[in-house]
Amino acid sequence: MVFLIQQTMLYAIPLMIVALAGIFAERSGVINLALEGIMIIGAFIGALFVRIIQENMVFTQDQGQLLMVLAMVVSAIFGALFSLLLSFSAINLKADQTIGGTALNMLAPAIVLFMINLISQQNVLGMATGDASSWFMIKPSTFGLERDHDFGFIGNLLINKVYLSTYICIAIFVVLSIILYKTKFGLRLRSCGENPQAADSLGINVYKMRYAGVTISGALAGIGGFTYALTTANCASTGEVAGYGFLALAVMIFGNWTPLNVALGGILFGLFKCIAATYSSLDINGDGVYMLAELGISPYVYRLLPYLITLIVLAFTSKKSRVPKAEGIPYDKGQR
């Protein structure tokens, strides 16, 4: 049970943080279809930063938690910078936001693969494989305890072999959700996605608020990309994040652009993603019997589950979705 919950959270946390990234952009009035591409950039830059620091021996394994936090900050910065391309095209040039986001999704993996070939033909981005990723895990040794120390059920669930990035992302999710719905900044941001003309008449700079929404969105997607690469897959060296950006968009729509519903949706999809990835080693009853593996179902069916569930859920919930009214519409100050 501990393993299942921990693995579910590993898949759910990147979904939640990237879906929140989509909320910030779309609540400001800009459709951010480039979440997939920004995640790729965040994963690559974070992995490259970690590897460079490791090779230069600036940090030791005991300082892995600090290194991980710095990598998350760097990923956020580069994700925000990459998202400025979408901001400029959508806000200043008033270009079609769907096409702009799609272009960035095509550009990101091309940049990453080009950079990888430029840097080295070796696996210089292998920080998510082998024992290197264990640098960032919270373990008994982190507290100076023996490796086989037992924290009990709750302790093992919340502390042992848990990534600090999980708690950082949860904290970011809660804080930014409060900012979006309980502060003056959040109210102004949401007003620009509902009625920018009315917001402008009250002295709110719509262009700046939309830039802020997309930039925050880019930073969150960059963090989500690095977190995904760190905790679930070595995607930084392949230029892809397995469609997680698009799955996050589905979670955002399922959550009706509200953080609480997005969190619940992220956990739901994370559970099925966990089952798809670990079905062959899941001992549900704790009796040494791998029930799902013994059903004789093709592994492709399990891998299909998260996306199939996404389609089914969206089919039943899309009619109830309340899209921000000015989403995707370029703001023209002279138009009323």
Amino acid letter for position 214? V
Give the orientation angle of helix 259-278 with respect to helix 2-27, to 10 degrees: 140
Residue 332 CB coordination number (10 Å) = 10
DSSP conformational letter for 140 = G
Which of the four pLDDT bands, split at 50, 70 and 90, describes residue 127? very low
Tell me: pLDDT of 126 over 90.
no
C-alpha dihedral, 212 to 190 to 30 to 209, nearest 10°:
-30
pLDDT of residue 42: 93
Could you give the residue ranges of the DSSP H alpha helices within the chain? Answer: 2-27, 35-55, 64-87, 97-119, 152-158, 164-182, 184-194, 196-201, 206-231, 244-254, 259-278, 299-317
Give the whole-angstrom CA distance, residue 307 versus residue 298: 16
User: Which of 134, 112, 106, 115 has its CA nearest to residue 43?
Assistant: 112
DSSP result, 34-57: THHHHHHHHHHHHHHHHHHHHHTT
User: Which of 23, 26, 263, 225 has its CA nearest to residue 109?
Assistant: 225
Q: Please tell me which residue, 1 or 18, carries the higher pLDDT value.
A: 18
Give the whole-angstrom CA distance, residue 251 versus residue 62: 36
Cβ-contact 254, 261 below 8 angstroms:
yes
Tell me: pLDDT of 28 over 80.
yes
Q: Which residues contact 306 (CB under 8 A, 6 or more apart)?
A: 247, 269, 272, 273, 276
Average pLDDT (136-140) is: 67
Determine if residue 283 is left, alpha or beta; phi over 0 gives left, psi from -120 to 50 gives alpha, anything else beta.
beta
Cβ-contact 226, 233 below 8 angstroms:
no
pTM, two decimals, is 0.88
165-197, pLDDT tens digit by residue?
999 999 999 999 999 999 999 999 999 999 999
Query: CA torsion sign, 322 to 324 to 325 to 327?
Result: negative
256-289, pLDDT tens digit by residue?
999 999 999 899 888 888 887 777 766 655 555 5
| Structure-token pair, residue 319 | 């009619």
Average pLDDT (111-136) is: 62
Tell me: pLDDT of 29 over 60.
yes
Q: How big is the CA angle at 84 (ends 253 and 89), to the nearest 5 degrees?
A: 80
DSSP result, 166-205: HHHHHHHHHHHHHHHHHSHHHHHHHHHHH-HHHHHHTT--
Tell me: pLDDT of 146 over 70.
no
